[in-house]
Amino acid sequence: MFVLMGLAVMKRMNYFQLLLKREEMSPVSFALICPGVALVVMGHFVVNNVKVASGVIEKFGIFYTGVSISLIV
Q: What residue spans define the domains of the chain?
A: 29-73
* Rounded distance between C-alpha atoms, residue 18 and residue 3, angstroms: 20
Question: pLDDT band at 72, cuts 50/70/90?
Answer: confident
pLDDT, position 13: 80
pTM listed for this prediction: 0.52
Residue predicted with more confidence, 39 or 70: 70
Note whether 71 and 44 are within 8 A (CB).
Answer: yes
Q: What is the dihedral of CA 3, 7, 8, 9, to 10 degrees?
A: 100
pLDDT, position 28: 60
Question: How many alpha carbons fall within 13 Å on the CB side of residue 63?
Answer: 9
pLDDT, position 62: 92
Q: What is the pLDDT of residues 19-55, one digit of tens each?
A: 777 655 666 666 666 777 778 888 888 898 888 888 8
Note whether 36 and 73 are within 8 A (CB).
Answer: no
